[in-house]
Chain A
């Protein structure tokens, strides 16, 4: 049974509007009639079983895949953190920052602050391949936050985090919410639903009707 993730906020423009989204892979439906709106200052949690299309939904919202049906409208720059940290194994965190912020000193300084705030020493010479899974995920998250995007699309961003880092993440999410950003978080299991303003539960399309 799906949940419409739409809490109307009169007078405010949603930073992300997804309407009637559908996607199939080789005739196998993954997403069917998914709709959601994310307003400034909201955290939207996207939950569901394995194979329910959470990652596909976020990739479509980020512009990395196309939907078969439906429409997406974004009203802010998006920062995207994939489920598997997409990083170069043979570069250091600082070198990733230099690559992602090429020619923009302000953004590079912001990236160093972000890394420090997430507990990753930005000037460490350690290559990404030698970092722990949690540290890689933090670097991946920091790269998604560079440029202060208004819309954050985070796909299980705390995979590999220890409990303290997990709590820190939600503190950061609270700060992003208070800054007026919209945060869409994919999570396998939302153990604390109170942390989100909206919850979109995606059923497996084969098991349910429209995912609204």
Chain B
């Protein structure tokens, strides 16, 4: 189990590290949103922070969807779907954390918010939820285009909708947005937002596991009762 988890994480870390241009764009994307607004809008920190979900979620989608056929082979080789998902999760959350720290540092230096700790917390919570969201979209949807469009829709509505509306409170980055909004005004309570983000992430990972188990896992055919002298039954 541990060796397999390490093998999956190592493979996905190598794949991500070899996509240097994509990594650079993932790091720059939230900063581009922030940079476009930071002189003109009081919401620049919120927009830049939540926009980091485009990077973390997009990376997760493209880690999942094109790998369905390989993952099917890996399940035939004995891997469990949960291990295949967990290996990706480790790598993507680590990459997401790096993007979050960079984004938060630049935004704090640029805006000088009243509560800089809330900026770090809000951007990190965004990444924490965005990776499971991307994995779930990648597991549920048949192609990258559909998955990316839904990610754009969710993150875009979260950024533009007023935080008091019902739709905003139901979307996955509401807790992170509360912290980011509070960073430049009245600080929001951290622990309830963390609990909400963890609950959302857990639910999304459950959906990912159920969907990937259905789409990528191998089914064992029944093996009839062995007779004397028969070869050993399949153990794959």
Question: Do residues A74 and B234 form an inter-chain contact, with CB atoms below 8 A?
Answer: yes
Determine how close the nearest CB of chain B comes to the CB of A105; give it in whole angstroms. Answer: 11
Determine how close the nearest CB of chain B comes to the CB of A198; give it in whole angstroms. Answer: 19
Q: How many A-B residue pairs have CB under 8 A?
A: 99
Residues of B within 8 A of A77 (CB): 234-236
Interface bits B60-82 vs A (CB < 8 Å: 1, else 0): 00000001011011101100000
Question: Do residues B234 and A64 form an inter-chain contact, with CB atoms below 8 A?
Answer: no
Looking at chain B, what size class is its interface with the partner chain?
35 or more
A131 at the interface (CB under 8 A from B): no
Determine how close the nearest CB of chain B comes to the CB of A56; give it in whole angstroms. Answer: 14
Cα of A15 to Cα of B4 in the assembled complex, Å: 28
Question: Do residues A76 and B76 form an inter-chain contact, with CB atoms below 8 A?
Answer: no
Closest to A17 in B: B224
Q: How many residues of A contact B (CB 8 A)?
A: 38
Cα of A150 to Cα of B218 in the assembled complex, Å: 18
Question: Do residues A78 and B236 form an inter-chain contact, with CB atoms below 8 A?
Answer: yes
Known: A77-B235, A78-B234. A90 touches B15 (CB 8 A): yes
Residues of A within 8 A of B67 (CB): 88
Residues of A within 8 A of B218 (CB): 62-64
Known: A90-B15, A103-B3. A63 touches B8 (CB 8 A): no
11 contacts between A and B (CB under 8 A): A40-B231, A63-B218, A63-B221, A63-B236, A71-B221, A86-B72, A88-B15, A91-B14, A99-B10, A103-B3, A146-B77
- B→A interface (CB under 8 Å): 3-4, 6-8, 10-11, 14-15, 18-19, 67, 69-70, 72-74, 76-77, 218-224, 226-227, 230-236
